[in-house]
Every structure is written in structure tokens, then in C-alpha cells.
Chains A and B, each alone.
Chain A
Amino acid sequence: MSAAGTEAPETPEAPLSAPLEVGFDYTRSVGPVLGEFVNALRERRILGVRGSDGRVHVPPVEYDPGTARALTEFVAVADEGTVLSWSWNAEPLDGQPVTRPFAWALIRLDGADTALLHAVDAGSPSAMRTGMRVRARWADEPVGHIRDLVSFVPADASPEPEPAPPSPPVAERGEGEPVSTVITPITLRIQHSASPEESRYLRALAEGRLLGQRCPVCGKVYIPPRGACPVDGVPTEEEVDLPDTGIVTTFCIVNVPFLGQRIKPPYVAAYVLLDGADIAFLHLVLGCAAEEVRMGLRVRAVWRPREEWSTTLENITHFEPTGEPDAPYESFAHHL
């Protein structure tokens, strides 16, 4: 569900940066009020709900905006109405209701007292005006989702020649059962940048080196380097090359599979404390049975072939036992 790939920096000093995409198909349970609304859409009907002050809210609200009381009196409204305000969207994005330029509009349907936000597919901004009359364009096969209302069009527009786009999928339900859950796909596209210090560490990794930084006050060596000591709050500048050997301080054996997992379980996720470092990082331990991994186990890095190296700790595929005697508990107890 997430993907990472490094990009070549423009200059050697520029911080490294790479895209990160995070996405999930969220499942929204609609509850009794929005449930009435979406299931009516399936029958090409639009429902509002009457508020404590008599006003009809469309879409229905579950709780009165003034009194906070639960609202239950549903009112059918028309699928035609009046544009109260609008804004032209010249460059529609993926996933928006209309693929060509359209207007986002606040539409008060006949019989409603509040406005519904929806798309008006009018062709050009010159066809839009506040106060104009619009009517719903319905999906050919409504499923019980706000997108059964494909868009609104000017009331006097001629019937659409093209078929309406299909409504998005709703969650599985029993035959004849009402819609209780809708699926809402959400994706974030992020450009993730490493700090200057982390970038230097990552570039060192691309050369097969493990680069840390020492705090000038407490003398502790951090890998990855952070540019500042989290204890003393001072900048860290002195760089320290660290060996690719160390110990396992503590660990767990991951037996549980999960969505987005990139290593097949079971695997040993271990805190590895490199010789000369003062903080451990999480990595994999292989090369022995999982039940033979111990606190204090001496390990060394196993590197990928040199031609596969890039700016990532994944250049080290895992750590494996060196065969040396275990470190005594007292020597690493303060790292737990």
C-alpha cells in the first residue's frame, strides 16, 4: 500500500527525497439516518430530515445543529432545485464527479431549506449563474451512494446522449439487504524528504558505510544521525564511522501477517546496537533459527551485492550471528 523509490539529487548536498503513497479503502457505516438517505437514492428518491426548527436538511443531518437532538422525521424533496452559489472547477482531479470542467455548486432542492454541495455539469462557466435551475442526473444503475447522483445539469438541458458513469462500489451485503456501509477510497501522495544529516547517512550507506554523529555534550553516538542531540538539545556535527558488527539488545519474533507487510513472517525484528553506537535500531536477524536469537547475541551485517546498493538501510539485508560469545547482560542493560 506504500511505495518508495529514491530520486537522484540535483546536487550532492541536497537532501534526499522520495515519493510516499498511502492509500486505503475506508469503510463507512452510514447508520440509520444516512442509511435512509443512501437507500432512497438507490430508488432515485432524495430524502431530507426535518430539524427541530422545522427546516428540512438535505442531505439529512443526524443531530440538530441547534439543539443537538437526534432527528428522525424524513421528508422527500425534489431532484430539481436552485443554485445558491457556485465556483468553476477548470481542472477536475481524478475521482471528482465530472471529468470535464464543471461547477461546484450549493444547490437548494425544491422542498429543502439547506443546500447540497454537488457538481453542475454545465459545459462552460458562461452557462452558470446564481439562481439558475438545475436537475439531477441519475446513474443508470443506482447502488445506494451519493454518487448515484452523477451530477446536476441545467434544468433546460437536453437529455444526455452518453451513458452515465457507474456509481462506485458499495460494501458487500446480503441479497435484498439495505446498504449499511459505503467504501471511501482515500489516497495521500507525499514527497518525503530526509534531513541533511540523514541524507549524508543514506549516501554513506550507498557506499557501504555506516555513518553516525556524536553529541559534543554527552558524547553519545547516534545512528541514524539526527543533527541534534535529543537529550542536550545541541547541534551534532562530528561524524563517526561505525563498524557493521554489534549486538542484539532485545527483539521480538513477528508471527502475524498484516496488510502492507513487506517481509514474510515469521521473522526476527531486533534492536541492533552497533559497536561504538549508543542507540540501537530495528533490523532483521537471520542466519539462525528464530528461537536461537538471544539478547546479547553478537551479529554482523549481511550486505546486498555492491551493484544493488542505494541510499537505504535495506542495503543490509539482515544481520547474522558472528559466532562470538554473547555480550554480558550488564554491558547492554542500560540500552533497554
Chain B
Amino acid sequence: MAKQLTAVLGTGQTHHRAKRTDVSMPGLIREAVDRALEDAQVDWPDIDAVVLGKAPDMFEGVMMPELFLADALGATGKPLLRVHTAGSVGGSTALVAATLIQAGVHRRVLTVAYEKQSESNAMWALSILPPFQMPVGAGAGGYFAPHVRSYIRRSGAPTHVGAIVAAKDRRNGALNPYAHLRQPDITVESVQASQMLWDPIRYDETCPSSDGACAMVLGDEAAGDAVPGGAAWLHATAMRTEPTTFAGRDQVNPQAGRDAAAALWRDAGITDPMSEVDVAEIYVPFSWFEPMWLENLGFAPEGEGWKVTESGETALGGRLPVNPSGGVLSSNPIGASGMLRFSEAAKQVMGRAGDYQVDGARTALGHAYGGGSQFFAMWLVGADKP
């Protein structure tokens, strides 16, 4: 049986900040949810089910937060599911919500993801050392920095490419009223002058720690048809997983990501992603992951992603604008970061991206990855029905 057509009816997000001490966890979530309901022009009785995602519970110290969030999520009397795939969770949560519509089970599903990082310290939470181990772990940056070094060595990329990404994404973030970091005056030179944190990753090439949430309302074909100005239609979705470590694993260009992208393009009927996709929101928490994922996703041949970045093709106005919203480098409420990528892709094809709208965007990619580059989630949305 064919999947039911599925559309994004509306999106919402919080103003992301280092500390949103003005709101509780439920209050933070509702800021995004209320905006999504308004954007979708629906009310609580229209929502059939709720799908929630967030990253590890250690970040807020609340086990199974979906229990105490049920009333804030309007889930009374409705199915409430929680999804967990580390940093990619915002993406996989949206995809789980989408399957409920694709399967014909529900007409409208609210999907939500959040993180309130200020309630603890993610670097601490990601560096907890079990007994018998060597205490060399240093958070996500410490995990990914050696693999970034491997990419630079393997591709022969000039060392300033990371700074190009960082300067671009932060300047894009300055166009986004919801972004945590808004730095219109940042330059490649100022990024290169910033402190080296996890050599080869500098301070300005690193995502911030943010409090924030993102929400979307997904709907079936009839609901999508009713969206004024047009919904964002799902053309294809893909998720793939692989173990964190095994002998011979390609940590720079993981197989699971390549497989997910190949399935996505196949299902969407895309043969040349670089020509056929108008804009991409890619999960780039450290600057170098832009060229790495350009290759992993098939936008560039292996070893040549950095050339696309260096040529300026990923900037606003370029051939494939990447992260016009400012991306993870501008806002990183971890659990929500993936859903932000998915919702920003939807906003582009709905023509609702404001000052960072890519002219004429008809087809957009939303992408997320998580764990030790082991969970991948992505969707391709379009202004037209597939």
C-alpha cells in the first residue's frame, strides 16, 4: 500500500538563548508549540497525537520528561510517544510523527523537540567516565575533533575552510530573529583568531549551548491542501544507523549516512542533488561538518566538499545555500537542533523564512545526525506534491 501524502502545516520555535531562566521546561516547549499551532492555523482539538524528542535525560536530570510534560503537550486523551536518537533526535522525532500520517493512522500530528541545557552542563554529561577507562574524553568537541583532523588530512582541504563555514553560518544567524548567536560582523579572519578549543576546532567553529524548542504540525493531504500559500510536502524520508565503533569504520564519511542519503534521493527521484535541491539545512555543530556532510550526502564527490564551501556556493545566493537560518552553529538546543533543520527546510519551501528566504526555493533538505555520527535522519520537502 502506498504511503499517504504528508505535509508540514506549520512550524514554531523559541527564541534560543544560553539561559532561558524566564520559563520552565513546559513553558519553553509551549513557546514553540503555540507558535506552531498558530502558524498551522489549528487548535488543540485538531491534534490527534503528539510525538516528543529530546537528547539524553542527563542533560536536565529528568528521567522520562514526557510523563510530566503530558499536559503542557496537550496530550491528554491522545497518543504521546517519545523518541530518542541522541543529537539526531529532532529529525527522527519528526520522521516518527510523519509515519503516523503516512500510515493513515492520524490526520494531524504535533511533533516537538527541546533541550534546556542551562539546567545542567552538557560537556559534563557527555564526559562521565565509567570505571576502568582512560579519562581522556572531552565532550562532543573532543569526540569529533580527531575525525575532523582526519577529514582535513584525507581531503587535503586548506585549513581556513572551517572558518568560512563558521563566518557564513553566524552571519546567516544574524538574519534569523530566533537565533541564539547573531554575529553580523564576524569574519573568516576573526574566526581564525579565536581560541583553539579542541585543536583543530576553534571556539568560533563550535556550536553554542542553547535553551530552546521547536515544534511542527504535520498533516495529511486534505490538511496540506488547506494551508494558505501552500504546505511543505514530504517527498522522501530516510533514517539509518550504524555502531559507534568497529574495525574499519569510516568515521569521516559514515556508511549509514551515505546509505540514508542514497535512499532519500532514490525515493525522491533525485539523480543530481546539487542541481535539483535548492537549499539544505544540514546538522553542522562544528564548522568542518559542512564539507564532510556535503560529501556524505552526495552533494559533492568524496574529498571535494570543501571546494563547494570555499567557492561560496553554500552561502546565501550560492548554488546550494546551506543553513541560511544560521544552523546549529548559531543555535544548539541539542534535542531540538535536528527538528530545527527539518522545520527550516519546510519554511523555505513554504516561503516563510523571512530575511533568510532563498529566492524560489521549491525543494529543501533537512538533515540531522547524532551519537558518534551513528544515527542519521533526513527528509526532502517540496513546495509541490511529490
Contact = CB atoms under 8 A, between A and B. Distances in A.
Q: Do A and B come from one complex?
A: yes
B21 interface: yes
Given A186-B61, A252-B145, A295-B153, A269 B136 contact: yes
B196 A230 contact: no
A66 B76 contact: yes
B131 interface: yes
Contacts of B130: 4, 20, 192
Contacts of B76: 65-66, 68
B248 to A, nearest CB: 6
A251 B146 contact: yes
Contacts of A281: 134
26 contacts: A1-B128, A18-B132, A24-B61, A28-B119, A29-B20, A63-B71, A68-B72, A180-B22, A184-B61, A230-B245, A231-B247, A250-B150, A252-B138, A253-B199, A258-B124, A259-B121, A260-B127, A261-B127, A261-B138, A269-B138, A269-B142, A278-B248, A295-B149, A295-B150, A312-B132, A336-B147
Secondary structure at the B interface, as helix, strand, loop or mixed, is loop
Contacts of A6: 131-132
A6 B132 CA distance: 8
Interface string A225-257: 000001100000000000000000111111110
| A-side interface mostly | mixed
A146 interface: no
Interface of B: 19-24, 26-27, 30, 44, 58, 60-61, 71-74, 76, 116, 118-121, 123-125, 127-139, 141-142, 145-150, 153-154, 195-201, 243, 245-248, 250-252
Contacts, number: 203
A74 interface: no
B172 to A, nearest CB: 25
B119 A336 contact: no
A250 B23 contact: no
Q: Which 7 A-B pairs have the closest CB atoms?
A: A31-B24, A252-B145, A68-B74, A253-B199, A18-B131, A4-B131, A278-B247
A31 B141 CA distance: 31
Nearest to A263: B135
Contact of A269 (B30, B133, B146, B246): B146
A65 B24 contact: no
Contacts of B74: 63, 68
A252 B149 contact: yes
A29 B246 contact: no
Nearest to A35: B24
B71 A252 contact: no
A271 B129 contact: no
Contact of B129 (A26, A32, A262, A283): A262
A259 B73 CA distance: 33
A279 interface: yes
A70 B71 CA distance: 10
Contacts of B30: 62-63, 70
Contacts of A30: 24
Nearest to A66: B76
B26 A63 contact: yes
Given A62-B72, A279-B246, A279-B247, A31 B27 contact: yes
A290 B149 CA distance: 14
A31 B135 contact: no
Q: Tell which of B134, B195, B196, B248 has the most Cβ of chain A within 10 Å.
A: B134
A335 B131 CA distance: 26
B378 to A, nearest CB: 24
B132 A218 contact: no
A98 B147 CA distance: 52
Given A254-B198, A260-B129, 5 more contacts: A31-B26, A62-B72, A255-B195, A279-B247, A312-B131
A264 to B, nearest CB: 11
Contacts of A41: none
Contact of A220 (B23, B27, B121, B248): B248
A302 interface: no
B138 A254 contact: yes
Nearest to A62: B26
A284 B134 contact: yes
A263 B19 CA distance: 28
